[in-house]
Amino acid sequence: MLVVQKYGGTSVGSLERIENVAKRVAKARDEGKDLVIVVSAMSGETNKLIEYAHHFSKTPSKREMDMLLSSGERVTAALLAIALNEMGYKTIALTGRQAGIKTDNAHTYARIESINTQRLRNEINDGNIVIVAGFQGINNDGEVTTLGRGGSDLSAVALAGALNADACEIYSDVDGIYTTDPRIEPKAKKLDFISYDEMLELSSLGAKVLQNRSVELAKKMGVKIIAKSSFSDGDGTVIADKGENMEEVLVSGVALDKNQARVSLRDVKDRPGIAAEIFNKLADENINIDMIIQNASENGTTNLGFTVPQSELERAKKVMDSFKEEFGSSDYDENVAKVSIVGVGMKSHSGVAAKAFEALAKNNINIEMISTSEIKVSMIIDEKFGELAVRVLHEAFGLGE
Amino acid sequence: MLVVQKYGGTSVGSLERIENVAKRVAKARDEGKDLVIVVSAMSGETNKLIEYAHHFSKTPSKREMDMLLSSGERVTAALLAIALNEMGYKTIALTGRQAGIKTDNAHTYARIESINTQRLRNEINDGNIVIVAGFQGINNDGEVTTLGRGGSDLSAVALAGALNADACEIYSDVDGIYTTDPRIEPKAKKLDFISYDEMLELSSLGAKVLQNRSVELAKKMGVKIIAKSSFSDGDGTVIADKGENMEEVLVSGVALDKNQARVSLRDVKDRPGIAAEIFNKLADENINIDMIIQNASENGTTNLGFTVPQSELERAKKVMDSFKEEFGSSDYDENVAKVSIVGVGMKSHSGVAAKAFEALAKNNINIEMISTSEIKVSMIIDEKFGELAVRVLHEAFGLGE
């Protein structure tokens, strides 16, 4: 049985914590598993190096940033290998290059193009636990590249895929994926299982355990991810294709995003291309649009609404001013939140959205905007009702049971 | 004109100091020089990493130590490149591998086997200042290796040799090579020039500016070294083949080593192989021998003397006990010092040793042991006269003038 384990910055944030990780790895080895361990830099190290670079330049060369930032993971990898060797476990540490990770040329946010697993397989066959410095690879010119924030997860998933590993265990300081944020709803329950698609929706809605890039890659390569805590024992949450017995679950989780501002344009002249013009202009100004709603046209005009991050509302207002000939009136609200329910079950069940609207209505929470996908319903509401809405929906779909 | 500059750990010990180095490099660039800059890790970094490793193991795997320790120089190289780019100087940072430095397999004290200069030459021809992470290379299997303490000097000299550079400037916190330690003799004078051979003798006698391995390599490859301070302006000291006009200088410097203990064996049975047996046994016990003196034999016995580091005297005594059948009596002195004069001039001038003995005698300093080479006279004296002997010899050979 071959398992890839990945330990994040918090899990290896001190020498004591690296020792703790070494013990966990040793235990898995004692269970007879072949192991490839991917490690991040010790927490704080990467930020320190970025600060160093910014001391010299606000726009440091990306190539040199990669040379700089790739050093932290090498330190952790070497230290963990030293610790395991001392404990009597045959272990070797490899850089991204030595682990065969080839990327494209996009320094600081490179994409993995291929993994040559020969060295990895040789080391495993030689009886080694293989430690790999995460977050890094080399391009075809032999330049060191890094994969962007959260890149160690990506290294782990890609290695698990290339090696056809039985699982990719991602360790952090939380013990799995929850039905919602336990700080908002104490009844939040850890999920035993969540599908790739639900996880993708949840992480784009603000769940921070796993980044979308890693989940997407896992889905593409069919890698079973298990999200676990490195500080406690527990089965964690399995992220994989929808299991047989998951058919019944309508909704898996509730997410809240309070960093939203709403823009509403009324009586927009309904001529072809007007929406494209507006959103192109917003894109030119680097304003991130989240939800977009356009109502069906009436009397040759339409209503257009969208949300932006709160910090970008002022700039969005200016862009709207440049289009003021095109619509009747506008309305802005900085104090809105987006509450979302996610679940593959809703694909095949009608009435999920209605049940959500009803639950909010019963609690006098007004819904300002709605957006749905096959496995998600998102609602824009008054920001002050955000936490209440999470608890109401969590209860309505029986997630705490 | 192509110059290799090397900046040590103290010279790049903080972000401000790296900035200072960047300004120096920029100035040399403004003078029209092509530049390859070799950097060490920021001072303290390497020791920190060694401590980390020793937290886990007293005997960490050397391969993993190299992966660990090679990270510090990469950080400095990237930061210096970022600083120079920001100042408008086209600059690229290279790892040891990218700089083409190939070594043997001796992890933690590897020897440079070859340098493939193609990438370096391409970058220079492209108008780049090239920053190279010192102290490191890779072996034929692509494993990261390091060159041992002081290895960045070695990187610099080897690169200067391979690139046929006009000079290799070694920057540290002292402004050159002195006739003796200025803390002992305030009249000590910075030398404008010193030959490779004199430098080799001086550094093996305790001068700490340059390590022997680097000087030896410079001599072998004909690389002109210039030892300079990164904190002040000044011409430094040139280390090269003996210049034409250096013929007249008898003595270039005086060195003192107070970390010596003397072992004297009297009436040693003069049978073949006895000396070899004694010194093999000492070597087996990892006791470092410095000076060895054996007097001509009288009446079938001989007197044998040698010096060891003070901390190793007790162990040396034990070894001598195991040979007590072989000699009449033994005598140990922990409180001795070695004072030496060095100079290529003494090769062709008789009377240098006599002049030294006379100078010490005049000051009632008794000489316990003497050892000479073509360009060096070393004398073991009572430790308490060490500093006085340095001043007396410095004066006798007119070094302060």
**Which of B55, B67, B82 is nearest residue A53 as measured by Cβ atoms?**
B82
Chain centre to alpha carbon of residue B253: 15
Q: Which residues of B touch A57 (CB under 8 A)?
A: 82-83, 85-86
SS3 for A238? strand
| B103-122 tens-digit pLDDT | 999 999 999 999 999 999 99
Backbone angles phi, psi at B117, to 5 degrees: -90, 5
Which pLDDT does position B301 carry in this prediction? 82
The whole-angstrom separation of Cα A310 and Cα A312 is: 5
Q: Supply the DSSP symbol for B312.
A: G
Instruction: Return the residue in B39, B79, B84, B136 with the most chain A beta carbons within 10 A, the one to mutate for interface testing.
Output: B79
Inter-chain contact A85–B64, Cβ cutoff 8 Å? Answer: yes
Secondary structure class of B262 (helix, strand, coil) = strand
Beta carbons within 8 Å of B186's beta carbon, 6+ residues apart: none
CATH architecture of B253-396: 2-Layer Sandwich (3.30)
Cα separation, A223 vs A239, in Å, equals: 9
Selected residue with higher pLDDT from A253 and B350: A253
CB A232 within 8 A of CB A200: no
For residue B225, name the pLDDT band (cuts at 50, 70, 90): very high
CA quadruple B151, B152, B154, B157: dihedral, nearest 10: 180
Q: Which residue of B has its CA nearest to A50?
A: B79
Closest Cα partner for A71 from A179, A171, A144, A180?
A144
Among the partner-chain residues A56, A83, A98, the one whose CB lies closest to the CB of B79 is A56
Give Cα A252 distance to the centre of its chain.
16
Contact present, A58 and A65 (Cβ < 8 Å) = no
Query: What letter would DSSP give residue A312?
Result: G
Fold equal for A2-173 and A253-396: no
pLDDT at B202: 84
Instruction: Find, among B110, B102, B120, B376, the residue nearest to B254 by Cα.
Output: B376
For testing the chain A interface, which of B82, B84, B116, B138 should be mutated: the one with the most A CBs within 10 Å? B82
pLDDT band at residue B297 under the 50/70/90 scheme: low
Residues 6+ apart with CB under 8 A from A384: A335
Closest CB to B81 among A61, A93, A98: A61
Confidence check: pLDDT of B208 > 80: no
How high is the pLDDT of residue B270? 75
The answer to whether A336 and A382 have CB atoms below 8 angstroms apart is yes
Positions of E strands within A203-279: 225-229, 237-240, 253-269
Per-residue confidence (pLDDT) for residue B371, from 0 to 100: 85
For residue A25, the chain B residues in CB contact (below 8 A) are none
- Contact B53/A86, CB-based, under 8 Å? no
Single pTM value for the model? 0.84
Work out whether the CA dihedral A354, A356, A358, A364 comes out positive or negative: negative
**pLDDT given for residue B353 in this prediction:** 87
Pairs of residues, one from chain A and one from chain B, whose beta carbons lie less than 8 Å apart: 108
Amino acid A296: pLDDT: 66
Rounded distance, CA B179 to CA B391, Å? 11
Please report the DSSP string for B343-389 in residue order: -GGGGS-TTHHHHHHHHHHHTTPPEEEEEEETTEEEEEEEGGGHHHH
**Res B350 pLDDT > 90:** no
> Which of A21, A46, A61, A73 is the best substitution to test chain B (most B C-beta atoms within 10 A)?
A61
Does residue B10 surpass a pLDDT of 60? yes
Is the pLDDT at B152 greater than 90? The verdict is yes
Picking from B15, B64, B75, the nearest residue to A93 by CB comes out as: B64
CATH fold for domain B2-173: Carbamate kinase (3.40.1160)
Determine whether the interchain pair B79/A19 forms a contact, defined as Cβ–Cβ distance below 8 Å. Answer: no
Mean pLDDT of residues grouped by 10 in chain A (401 residues)? Answer: 96 96 98 98 94 96 96 97 98 98 95 96 98 97 92 96 97 90 90 91 74 91 95 92 64 91 88 84 87 75 88 93 90 93 81 89 90 87 94 92 73
Average pLDDT (B363-381) is 89
Q: Which of B71, B92, B101 to mutate to test the interface with A (most CBs of A within 10 A)?
A: B71
Q: Enter the DSSP assignment of B290.
A: -
Contact B86 A142 (CB under 8 A): no
- Looking at residue A247, what is its pLDDT? 53
Helices B71-86/B45-56 angle, 10° precision: 150
Residue-level pLDDT at B61: 95
User: Taking phi first (over 0 means left), then psi (-120 to 50 degrees means alpha), and beta for anything else, what does residue A120 get?
Assistant: alpha
Q: Which of B68, B79, B97 sits opposite A53 (nearest CB)?
A: B79
Coil vs helix vs strand at A58 = coil
| CA nearest to A55 within chain B | B15
Does the pLDDT of residue B372 top 60, yes or no? Answer: yes
- In one-letter notation, the amino acid at residue B164 is N
Domain ranges of chain B: 2-173, 253-396
Split at pLDDT 50, 70, 90, the class of B338 is very high
- Short-list B373, B363, B380, CA closest to B308: B380
- Alpha-carbon distances of A377 from A183, A230, A346, B12, rounded to whole Å: 22, 33, 9, 55
CA torsion angle A228 A234 A239 A244 (round to 10): 180
